[in-house]
Structure 1
């Protein structure tokens, strides 16, 4: 069971989380727990690390540490008063260490990716101590382990590391014995290289941690506890009448998580797929809600589209030139240059004339992408590169779309009748996802139109 930041955001939330854990422990289940940092803490750690590096004046490191100490000790004292002195001493020790590291970053005016990973991993290192203490307060044995102690070995790509296969036997040997009579609490989001250097798994990487631990200990199920009732048919902040999906397939969940559905991390599904492990998405604040079940089996419905999702803060890049027509190696040169610069290409579309390649990247990567792509312009390989920041990528997702004629027709007819202009279209061979790009100011209308077109707010019985 993985619990997100809002599930451990304060003493009240931790109390609800322990209620859930105690209930399943009493029923005889063996539960390994993976925990995120308290809500907001990771963002604060990123911010103070950046300020420590860049600030000419003395940055507010001491004040930050004091505020972090007060927040965690107050939560500890309310959630586990009997453990406050002993666990509080460990929290203080870790915060002193963090203060020293931040002070060194400021003194050197240098924040390496390695140092940043070490700093931002502290959110989970503190929350795991408190949750484990609160579990012990209920009379259930519990040990807090950081990702390294739990055996999670990763690549050395700081900020977005991948877990290595040799982690599984290490995790199994370290975590399973703790399940016999207790409930281990493992930090999400972090691991370490085989050399012992701390790494992080990318934002929202605690889901990925949970899936890795679940695979390694041969868990029957992996449960992701969050602050919503499950995977929705669309973004509830935009569409008023969204519905919780009772079932989604692995393929659908991967597409949804990649295309902006923040309930699951994109890397979560693959470890579960390897052992056909069921993943459940449930709400800590509404634990009796059935949530969403993610499994290999695809639920056959008369309505073939399951969800409409989107990614904001992206940029559209158009690469044009008649010189590209019939010339081998153009695409390779473009994508190699972008890849070497560390720029992830999220969507691709190429005209059959071969005179235009369009792609979607993260908005923050646009300045670097334009700089990188200036080289093929200067060499005459392409004529021009243009870009547009004011766009949103939208995806229509459903396993039932594969082999069903007319779905794309319905999508683009509905958008056309609503006056929404489509700037780019991309569809993979799996046919589970039809993706396209619209202007930012038309994105809400596009989402609502398609949610209505496929009647996603209505229950649909299985065939």
Structure 2
């Protein structure tokens, strides 16, 4: 037994992060199909987001935030604004109960129902799990009651409330593993920060004003997480919420903190791979729901992943990705509905200029070092199920960009100097005004007397009006709405002559007007702003003309597919 344990300790670690929808809809597949295929050759850590049974908007995290807001309401007579799918589980005769009580009841009933589905043949485990779920929800109810009395939910209190969602999800996953004969241990990290020895976790931050956590904090945190996980005997099932972070976890990281937790765990245990399990096969050359010919990209660089994330394709947050990549830990995006697919690997490129996919092909992570649900050379053996086929870029007859993406809900703010302003003062006043209002600009195009800025259209109307009023003191201001940002991304574009010309020629052939153009200093992204009504047409034209594996003519006679878009 001891010998077996020692052998298990020598196996490489793999950290698997599952999103809320995966936990909510595909728990049975995770426990019975995905996880067992890794256990023979790897030690596995599971990190879970809060459960989402239907959609993200109706998920546990959204309901917890709703309950926190309801606790601040003084009136209890108004009916809660809850969505129809949950109306059937509202307790009868509860008209006198507070709104947050009803929301807690919804969370409780959802998780009790999920527990019964996960453990149909384990009555003892089910009884224990149900008792734990009820205790957690009663603690939440008491916490919200106290918040209502003092009429305050501080940022740290909101963190604690949100953390309950991950704890409930991890209880479900841990119990489901035990019910299938797999040893597991629930790991709650809500006290990990307070247990850290380094002074960066104990103080030294200003009591007033914003708090900015340095990289040293995350380095120490990853070490603490690694030590905690190393002590686990079974599979650690880790809460994405990792405790009382200075300045509030939501304020420092946002709702994507579970991905960050998974990356820090991977760094802490020196994992062979970090896997992000979603409901998509990986990163595609374009949104496959909008572009029928979009292909799966087997490997991309962190720079490409960051650009795609920022400009509309949800890959993984750049800061989260940085934690793993700087330690040379590859990140694989996998589909929980298609575990045999190869997914997309984010791995740092080498300075030699070799294609990252060639390096991944030779890397042990695709050659069996990390166990796959099937032989790694499935493309040759014909054992691959499903629509995903892994191809090396050696199969690609020419160098092409990596992907094209669209960022929706954009407006363009134009400022033209009134000629009384000196050019350097003109730009300084614009950027100073943007800073005061906290406006983030996605793209910018400037000349000596004219500035065009693309930004999200979700800015509050009053804020935009104040911003416009101040900028009118500098020059003429105009706002163009209903726009999108079209971005062509690829590290190989640095060495591709004429790709920008081909992109804009394609749009011109399609009679698509371009409002503004911008290219980043890193030369891996060319973006332009177009009207939203032309977004689908532009996306398909660019993919058809530039991203197809075989060259396509850029004119109206380029096949029936091309003609249909002109």
Question: Residues 324, 394 of structure 1: CA spacing in aligned structure 2 closer, same or farther, 3 A cutoff?
Answer: farther
Aligned partner of 1:217 in structure 2 is: 269
Quick check: 2:411–2:483 contact (8 Å CA) kept in 1? yes
Distance 1:118 1:225 in 2: 25
Quick check: 2:401–2:547 contact (8 Å CA) kept in 1? no
Question: Residues 261, 405 of structure 1: CA spacing in aligned structure 2 closer, same or farther, 3 A cutoff?
Answer: same
Q: Which among 43, 52, 62 is matched to residue 62 of structure 2?
A: 43
Question: Residues 239, 24 of structure 1: CA spacing in aligned structure 2 closer, same or farther, 3 A cutoff?
Answer: same
User: Is 1:450 aligned with 2:542?
Assistant: yes
SS at match of 1:166: helix
**What does 1:249-260 align with in structure 2 at a 5 Å threshold?**
249-260=301-312
Q: Which among 442, 453, 462 is matched to residue 359 of structure 1?
A: 453
Aligned partner of 1:86 in structure 2 is: 128
Aligned partner of 1:132 in structure 2 is: 174
Distance 1:115 1:323 in 2: 52
Q: Which among 407, 411, 424 is matched to residue 311 of structure 1?
A: 407
Question: Residues 62, 328 of structure 1: CA spacing in aligned structure 2 closer, same or farther, 3 A cutoff?
Answer: same
Quick check: 1:189–1:204 contact (8 Å CA) kept in 2? no
Distance 1:97 1:389 in 2: 47
Q: Which among 57, 66, 88 is matched to residue 105 of structure 2?
A: 66
CA deviation vs aligned residue, 1:32-70 (integer Å, no higher than 9, x gap): 111111122223333343444457444422222112111
**What does 1:74-153 align with in structure 2 at a 5 Å threshold?**
74-80=113-119, 81=122, 82-104=124-146, 111-151=153-193
Aligned partner of 2:369 in structure 1 is: none
Q: Which among 10, 14, 21 is matched to residue 27 of structure 2?
A: 14
Question: Residues 253, 236 of structure 1: CA spacing in aligned structure 2 closer, same or farther, 3 A cutoff?
Answer: same
Distance 2:310 2:512 in 1: 24
Q: Higher mean Cα deviation, 418-427 or 382-391?
A: 382-391
SS at match of 2:309: helix
Distance 1:148 1:55 in 2: 30
Distance 1:245 1:211 in 2: 22
User: Is 1:2 aligned with 2:23?
Assistant: no
Distance 2:188 2:435 in 1: 32
| Cα shift at 1:94 | 1.9
Distance 1:51 1:386 in 2: 40
CA deviation vs aligned residue, 1:282-323 (integer Å, no higher than 9, x gap): 111110111111111334652321111121123322222234
| Cα shift at 1:138 | 2.7
Q: Which among 220, 229, 240 is matched to residue 166 of structure 1?
A: 220
SS at match of 1:65: helix
Aligned partner of 1:241 in structure 2 is: 293
TM-score of the two chains, using structure 2 as the length reference: 0.72
CA deviation vs aligned residue, 1:188-211 (integer Å, no higher than 9, x gap): 265431599786732344222222
Aligned partner of 1:320 in structure 2 is: 416
Aligned partner of 2:364 in structure 1 is: none
Quick check: 2:50–2:166 contact (8 Å CA) kept in 1? yes
Q: Higher mean Cα deviation, 138-147 or 239-248?
A: 138-147
SS at match of 2:219: coil
Q: Which among 268, 273, 276 is matched to residue 328 of structure 2?
A: 276
Distance 2:427 2:268 in 1: 39
Extract unaligned runs of 5+ from structure 2.
Answer: 1-15, 53-58, 81-98, 350-355, 358-392, 552-566
User: Is 1:420 aligned with 2:512?
Assistant: yes
Question: Residues 165, 348 of structure 1: CA spacing in aligned structure 2 closer, same or farther, 3 A cutoff?
Answer: farther
Distance 1:338 1:77 in 2: 52
Aligned partner of 1:175 in structure 2 is: 229
User: Is 1:403 aligned with 2:495?
Assistant: yes
| Cα shift at 1:24 | 4.0
CA deviation vs aligned residue, 1:343-398 (integer Å, no higher than 9, x gap): 33222221x2x2222223232225364255256436x3x12333233111121011
Extract unaligned runs of 5+ from structure 1.
Answer: none
Q: Higher mean Cα deviation, 131-140 or 1-10?
A: 131-140
Distance 1:295 1:324 in 2: 51
Distance 1:391 1:109 in 2: 41
Quick check: 2:263–2:320 contact (8 Å CA) kept in 1? yes
Q: Higher mean Cα deviation, 102-111 or 247-256?
A: 102-111
Question: Residues 429, 122 of structure 1: CA spacing in aligned structure 2 closer, same or farther, 3 A cutoff?
Answer: same
| Cα shift at 1:111 | 4.9
| Cα shift at 1:324 | 7.7
| Cα shift at 1:411 | 0.7
CA deviation vs aligned residue, 1:163-182 (integer Å, no higher than 9, x gap): 7332122112112222xx32
Distance 1:128 1:234 in 2: 33
TM-score of the two chains, using structure 1 as the length reference: 0.87
| Cα shift at 1:213 | 1.7
Quick check: 2:156–2:244 contact (8 Å CA) kept in 1? no
| Cα shift at 1:270 | 0.8
User: Is 1:287 aligned with 2:326?
Assistant: no
The 4+ residue runs of structure 1 with deviation greater than 6 A are: 152-158, 160-163, 195-200
| Cα shift at 1:224 | 0.7
Distance 1:318 1:344 in 2: 15
Distance 1:368 1:110 in 2: 26
